[in-house]
Amino acid sequence: MPETSRVPDPALYPVPADWADKAHMDRETYEAARIAARETPDAFWAEQAKRLDWITPPTRIKDVSFNKQDFRIRWFEDGVLNVSANCIDRHLPHREDETAIIWEGDDPADSRHITFGELHAEVCRMANVLKAHGAKKGDRITLYLPMIPEAAYAMLACARIGAVHSVVFGGFSPDSLCGRIEDCGSNLVITADEGLRGGKHIPLKANVDEALTKVKVDTVLVIRRTGADVPMIEGRDFDYGLEAAKADTDCPPEPMNAEDPLFILYTSGSTGKPKGVLHTTGGYLFWAAWTHEIVFDYRPGEVFWCTADVGWVTGHSYMVYGPLANAATTLMFEGVPNYPDAGRFWQVVDKHKVEIFYTAPTALRALMREGDAPVKASSRASLRLLGTVGEPINPEAWRWYHEVVGDGRCPIVDTWWQTETGGHLITPLPGATDLKPGSATLPLPGVELQIVDAEGQPLEGAVSGNLCITDSWPGQMRTVYGDDQRFFDTYFSTYPGRYFTGDGCRRDEDGYYWITGRVDDVINVSGHRMGTAEVESALVLHDDVAEAAVVGYPHDIKGQGIYAYVTLNNGVEATEDLRKALVAHVRHEIGPIAAPDVIQWAPGLPKTRSGKIMRRILRKIAENEIGALGDTSTLADPSVVDDLVKNRAGA
Ligand code: WTA
C-alpha cells in the first residue's frame, strides 16, 4: 500500500439527501434490520429469503454452531430451489426480451446484447450438451474460460442440472489447472480455443492439453472464440458449436436442496495448496442477490458493470449470480482497462450507459497514473454509484474515483468480503452510511464482528486487532471441498467459537472498520490473493534453488508486490539470467499473477534456533523498514540479517 493508506482520513462524506430518501435501505431500515437479524434471526431471514423463487420454501432457517463439538453451518436446509431458474426462468414472463447480459469484447467494435429469452435458450442448450456427455447432479465440472457469454452460460448450465462448477481463472498455468481438476475430481472440462485480452491471444486449449498430460478427464468441450487452429483429440475433445447445434433449447431445472453444493472456487491460504471453497445453493444465492440489491441499490432495468474476471469470486457473485437473480442487465467485459487506451472503461460506460460501476483499487491506481484526461474525454453522465473491492483503497485513489470518475456526485461503496464469505459483509449502504475514504465502514445486518487481540480476547471501542466474525450469515462457505477438517482448522481453531478472517482491522471512534490487510502469510497482489507458501514451493521446484522465502511489500499500483528471498544451491552463480529464469519459472508453475517483482539472493535466511524462518524480519527488510527489525537475538545466526540488509534489492 502507498503510505497514504495508513493515515486515517478524518473527512466524512454524508449520505446525499436524495439517496437517504430513495434508497432501498435508509438509516432506519438498516438499524432495524441489524436488530432483527440479531434478535429474531429465523423470522428475519425467512422473510428476506422470500426474494428467491423456492420450489419448496424453507421452514428450517438457521442451524449453526461454530463450536468444535457440534460444528455445523446450515441455512434454509429444507428449502428446494434451482439457481438457474432463479436467475433466468422466473424473469421470463416480464423480461424475456430485456437484456440480461451486455457483452463488450476486447475489440471496441465488438459487443452483443443477450436477452433473458436468449440466455434461457443458450443455458438450456449447454445443459443438454453436458447431459449428453454424461454429466449429472453432483458431478464437478471445471471451467477454464475467457470472459465470453459462454462462461456465464456454463456456470448456469451446471447449476441447471445440479452439477458443481469449478471455475479456474484463465491466467492460471497448466499445472495450477491440473491441481484443481485433480482435487475436485472433474471428469469434464469446458474451455475455449483461445482467449483475447488487450489484443493478446491466451492459449487456453493448449494449457488444458498440457494439464491433461498429468490428469485424465473423459471430455473437453471447446468453445470457438478466436477460431485458432487447435489440436483436437478424437473421442475426448468436442467442438462445442457442433455439439450445441444438436442440442434442444429446453432443459428442465433440477430441483436442488438449499444445502446442495453450487460451486467450488479455489483460493490461496497461508499454507499448502489452494483450498476448494465450497458454496451451496440457497444461502449463497440469497446472499449474492440480497447484497447486490441493497449495497448497489439496484433497480431493475439499470446497467450494472462489475469488472472482475469470472475466475474470481467477485465475478461469480456480482457479475453472474447476484445481478441475474435480480433480473439485472449485467455487463461482461472481455478486455483490459488500458486497451486500446487508458480511457476504455469510461468509453464503455458511455457506450452502454452504465449506471453502477464496480472495480478494484489496483485498476484505479493504474488509471490515475494516466492523468484525468482519458476520464474527462467521456461523459459518464449515466453513472449513479461506484464500488470497489479486493483490497483497502488508499484515500487518494478514493478521492480521485469520487471527484474525477464520479464528478463528485456518486457515492462509493467500499465492499469488504472474501471468497469464503460469498458476498459483501462490511460495506456502506449508499442511502444509510456516511462515507470515510479508505474505510469499508459498517457491517451488514446479520454480520457480527469482533476484533480480538493475539490471544483471542475481544477488544471493545476504538482498537486494532484481528478481525473475527462470531455468528454465521447465509452466504458463508460450508466447507473446503473434500476436507471438512481443514475447513474447521483454518477458520475456527485460531480463536475457538469464531470465524477468523485472516485480516487485521482497526475500529475507530465512530465504530467504522478499517481493514489493514492480511495478518497471515497471504499477500494481496492487485486485489488477488496469493499464498506466499505457494510461491515458495514453486521456487524450490527449480533445480538451482535450495530455499526460498516470500513476503509482500508495498507496491504503488498492485497494493502489494511479491518479494522473494532465494538461497541458491552450492556452486550456482547468482546471475541476472537466473533471476529472469526464476521469474519465468514461477509464471509457468502458477501463472503470471504469482511472478515475483523482486528477487533478492540470500546466502542465508533468518531462522530461529528451531529452524523456523522469521518472516517478520524479512517483511521489514522488504518494506525497507530497516530501523524496525526488532529483536534478532533469538536467531540461530544473527549475521545473516546484516547481509540481507546490506544487499537489499531496490524494491
Ligand atoms: C481483501 C475478494 C480491504 C481482504 C472479494 C480479504 C479487502 C481478501 C477488501 C479476500 C476491501 C477484499 N477492503 N480489504 N474492500 N475486499 N479485501 O478471497 O484482505 O479474493 O481477506 O475475495 O481481500 O480476497 P478474496
Distance CA 130, CA 109 (A): 32
Kindly state if the Cβ of 586 falls inside 6 Å of ligand 1.
no
Report which of 121, 100, 96, 128 is spatially closest to residue 254, judged by C-alpha positions.
128
Looking at the CA of residue 267, tell me the nearest atom of ligand 1: 18
Measured distance CA(58)–CA(64) in Å, rounded: 16
CA–centroid distance, 11 to ligand 1, in Å, is 23
Question: Is 506 near ligand 1, meaning CB less than 6 Å away?
Answer: no
pLDDT score, position 417: 98
Round to whole Å and give the CA distance between 344 and 365: 15
Give the pLDDT confidence score for residue 246 in this predicted structure: 97
Nearest CA to ligand 1 atom 3: 392
| Distance between Cα 389 and ligand 1 center (Å) | 7
pLDDT of residue 4: 45
Cα–Cα dist 347/378, whole Å: 6
- 391 CB under 6 A from ligand 1? yes
Q: How far from the centroid of its chain's Cα atoms is residue 439's Cα?
A: 19
pTM of the model: 0.95
- The reported pLDDT for the residue numbered 631 is 81
As a whole number of Å, the end-to-end CA separation of the chain is: 13
CB-based contact 438:391 (threshold 8 Å): no
Report the pLDDT value the prediction gives residue 275, as an integer from 0 to 100.
Answer: 96
Average per-residue pLDDT in the chain?
96
Angstrom distance (rounded) from CA 478 to CA 166: 15
The answer to whether 339 touches 367, Cβ cutoff 8 Å, is: no
Which residues of the chain are under the pLDDT cut of 70?
A: 1-10, 650-651
Mutate to test the pocket of ligand 1, among 291, 468, 529, 532 (most ligand atoms within 8 A of CB): 529
Render pLDDT for 46-59 as a digit per residue (tens, 0 to 9).
999 999 999 999 99
Ligand 1 nearest atom to the CA of residue 426, by list position: 15
Indicate the top mutation candidate among 394, 414, 524, 558 to test ligand 1's pocket, ranked by most ligand atoms within 8 A of CB: 524
- Model pLDDT, residue 3: 43
CA–CA separation, 147 vs 335, rounded Å?
8
What is the per-residue pLDDT for 2? 43
Contact 333, 305 (CB under 8 A): yes
Classify the phi-psi angles of 606: left when phi > 0, otherwise alpha if psi is within -120 to 50, otherwise beta. Answer: beta
Residue to substitute in 391, 433, 505, 523 for testing ligand 1 pocket (most ligand atoms within 8 angstroms of CB): 391
The response to whether residue 389 sits with its C-beta less than 6 Å from ligand 1 reads: yes
Whether the CB of 186 sits within 6 Å of ligand 1: no
The x, y and z cell numbers of residue 580, run together, are 529472469
The SS3 call for residue 625 is coil
Helix (H), strand (E) counts: the chain: 22, 31
The closest-lying atom of ligand 1 relative to the alpha carbon of residue 522 is 19
Q: Ligand 1 in contact with 529 (CB < 6 A)?
A: yes
Distance CA 195, CA 334 (A): 9
Which three three-digit cell numbers place residue 170?
484463465
* Residue pair 285/321 in contact by the 8 Å Cβ criterion: yes
Q: What one-character DSSP code corresponds to residue 25?
A: S
Q: Are the C-beta atoms of residues 494 and 269 closer than 8 Å to each other?
A: no
Atom of ligand 1 nearest to the CA of 528: 20
Q: How far is it, in rounded angstroms, from Cα 127 to Cα 559?
A: 40
Cell numbers describing residue 540: 524450490
What is the distance between the alpha carbons of residues 452 and 459, in angstroms, rounded to a whole number?
5
Q: List phi, psi (to 5°) of 465.
A: 180, -155
The confidence score (pLDDT) of residue 10 equals 53
% of the chain beyond a pLDDT of 90: 92
State if residue 314 touches ligand 1 by the CB under 6 angstroms criterion.
yes
Task: Return the pLDDT at 635.
Answer: 86
Residue to mutate, 284, 418, 469, ligand 1, most ligand atoms under 8 Å from C-beta: 418
- The pLDDT value given to residue 402: 97
ipTM, two decimals: 0.99
Contacts of 31 (CB under 8 A, 6+ apart): none
